[in-house]
Amino acid sequence: MSCKIHAESQDSIIEKNWPEGVKKTHQRIDIFLALYYAEEPLSAAEIFERLNEEHPDKRYAFSTVYRNLLAFEKAGMVTKSILSTQDDAIYELKKKTHKHYAICSNCHKMIQIKTCPLKDISAIVSNSLPGFKITGHQLEFIGICSDCSKMLNS
């Protein structure tokens, strides 16, 4: 995948973000870059479609994409989520901060929430659960996005 708007080279991006102990293959690198450049989490089917559009000479199998996503999840490289508005799991690269989304129930657009509203609540919940270690959380808001709202009100 070549992205002309990003000044940083793909080799540099991979070098900075690839964890030790995870084997680099051309399939894994292509999947990683698809997730890296994605503006929102992607399903395995969406990654499969993107890869086959961008690399028609390689012809990826869906099972290859899925197996590598499982390997990425096991290595701690991706976050896998299942949203209430979707049937398929979605994946995004783990970064220093996690994300939450508002999801349009009409067009399914995902809008990133700029802050984590659960940050303070996590400590309160953790204190009320002796012996339970919270390792993560998910939050999604469901509603109608501004574009769909305009269409529905016209």
Tell me: the pLDDT tens digits for 4-16? 555 578 888 888 8
Residue ranges per structural domain of the chain: 1-95, 97-154
Mean pLDDT calculated for residue range 10-31 = 90
Domain 97-154: give its CATH superfamily. Ferric-uptake regulator, C-terminal dimerisarion domain (3.30.1490.190)
Residue type present at position 143? G
Residue 11: its pLDDT value, please? 87
Cα–Cα distance between 5 and 101 in angstroms, integer? Answer: 25
Give me 2's structure tokens: 């070549």
By residue count, the chain amounts to 154
Residue 138: its pLDDT value, please? 75
Cα–Cα distance between 58 and 30 in angstroms, integer? Answer: 11
Q: What dotted CATH number matches 1-95?
A: 1.10.10.10
